[in-house]
Structure 1
Amino acid sequence: MREIVLDTETTGLDVNSHRIIEIGCVELINRIPTGKVFHRYINPERSIDKGAFKVHGISEEFLKDKPLFSEIASEFLNFISSDTLVIHNAVFDIKFLNMELGKLNAKLISSDRVLDTLPLVRKRFGPPASLSALCERFGISLESRKLHGALIDAELLAKVYIERLQTPLDRCQHTVRFREHLPSNEEVSKQLDKINVSVHEGVVDRRL
């Protein structure tokens, strides 16, 4: 089973006027990180709201020489394929991704293939339900996360998802299907930690 943990950063909150500036994806196979990621910074061809800049620290100057969404769309769609997308507050990210894809007359992402961890977390643990709060709740280090970033946030969400958000049924099915090698939470964390969060842009394949 292939899943893609995904996050985006944008120039602002309004999908009608703002654009995506960063996409980060982490590949999981059978709930195990493979080391393969997709990471792109994108030139939005517009200014960045001050509030958004305070969140992610990505400047207009930095994005000047980055590709347009239209130039990375095909590679992005190939990477996510038709697999399940695991996203925290998916409504926001999918809304922006479909806006960008719609501008290209490309096939939109169906909500049927999206697993939104935000309502799952709210139902199971209650507030607060932000990614930072979840990491603190579960003892996942935020040392490498000075500001929001699509790739690092996708990697942190992958840790939360793998270690804490599987249902008892998920764990049972996983044990039955993969009992020959079922890694511990510690092994999974080490595997994720080996993915360099300062990875260069693009698809990076580190089979560990």
Structure 2
Amino acid sequence: MWRNSEDRKKKLLQTLDANIGKYMIMFDTETTGLKKDDQIVELAGKKYRIEKDANSIYEFLETDTFHAYIKPPFAMDSGVIAIHGITNEFLEDKFTEEEISPQIEAFFGDADLLCAYNINFDIKMLMRLYERTGMPIPFVLSEEEKQLDVLIYARDLVSSKETKSHKQEDVCKAMGLEDGVKFHSAIDDIEACFRLFKIFVKQYQDMETLDYSKLPTPMIYQNGIAYWEKGKIKRIYVNTDKGGFYYDIIKKEWNVKDASDSMKNYNVPALIKAAFQAVCVSDEEAFVKAVRKDLN
């Protein structure tokens, strides 16, 4: 198994270095559901100023907190309520989106970075709130390079053998970080996310940089990239002069097809770069889209 840890390390640390003295908001949402027309019923955020001490250790100094419950224009069903415990009755006297929007705009307006666990979902929900209320969209909501996803770091640094799943709750419990946290409470989920984030940043800082240049680079055969799917297994196979390799789309990791072989024997970054170049992309997400698009 191999994940592009060095690339993620480089991107994360470069992003943090570029924002020393600036502000990162870690945030979370609880919602009426997962569909496009669902809305946020709890929004929480903590603002941190990013610093670096004399020993080059990153520090995140909390400067502000936002926490609000929001009354939606429709009732939630019991299944959703069972997940986060926020009832329709509890929300009856809470602010609507329009009423709370000035406070949201003021809090998020000066952020330089956003951080969350599985951030794409929370970004979509917050973006739709901005659109419905007519607020101007802050650049951190529309600029992907300004958004840090702790789920990606968890998948990268916590093995599937160590945790039941890569849901935030399971990763926290696997790492012994769940004390005092009520999961599926937006304000508590931020605390859980922050605990994980600090550890992952330190792990990336301490990670040894490997010299892959001394290892053989597999050469991809012409038309040697193909998508394969069976049940819940989804892979992209890359056939080379050193044998078969594949990218596991679900687990987001690279593997060698021959179980008796090891990814440690090859210049994997060079192989991945060649695979990306073969389909004219620069990252894993675009790689998956490009290969699967060829099937249509």
Matches of 1:28 and 1:82, distance apart in 2: 9
Secondary structure of the residue aligned to 1:101 is helix
Q: 1:137 aligns with which of 174, 181, 189?
A: 174
Quick one: percent identity of the two aligned structures?
28
- In structure 2, the residue matched to 1:26 is 46
CA-to-aligned-CA distance 1:10-49 (integer Å, 9 cap, x gap): 011112x211100011122224242631100000111113
| Aligned-partner residue type, residue 151 of structure 2 | L
Structure 1 residue runs without a partner (length 5+)? 172-208
TM-aligned CA deviation for residue 74 of structure 1: 2.1
Matches of 1:49 and 1:42, distance apart in 2: 16
Change (3 A) 1:44 1:105: same
Once the two structures are overlaid, the 10-residue window that deviates more, 98-107 or 119-128, is: 119-128
What are the residue-to-residue correspondences of 1:118-197 with 2, within 5 Å? 118-127=151-160, 128-145=165-182, 147-169=183-205
Change (3 A) 1:35 1:144: farther
Structure 2 residue runs without a partner (length 5+)? 1-21, 51-58, 208-296
TM-score relative to the length of structure 2: 0.53
- In structure 1, the residue matched to 2:88 is 60
8 Å CA contact 1:26, 1:37 repeated in 2:
yes
Matches of 2:63 and 2:199, distance apart in 1: 17
CA-to-aligned-CA distance 1:72-110 (integer Å, 9 cap, x gap): 222112212232111111111111111111112223321
TM-score relative to the length of structure 1: 0.73
Matched, 1:105 2:142: no
- In structure 2, the residue matched to 1:11 is 32
8 Å CA contact 1:27, 1:37 repeated in 2:
yes
Matches of 2:25 and 2:105, distance apart in 1: 12
Aligned length: 169
CA-to-aligned-CA distance 1:166-203 (integer Å, 9 cap, x gap): 454499xxxxxxxxxxxxxxxxxxxxxxxxxxxxxxxx
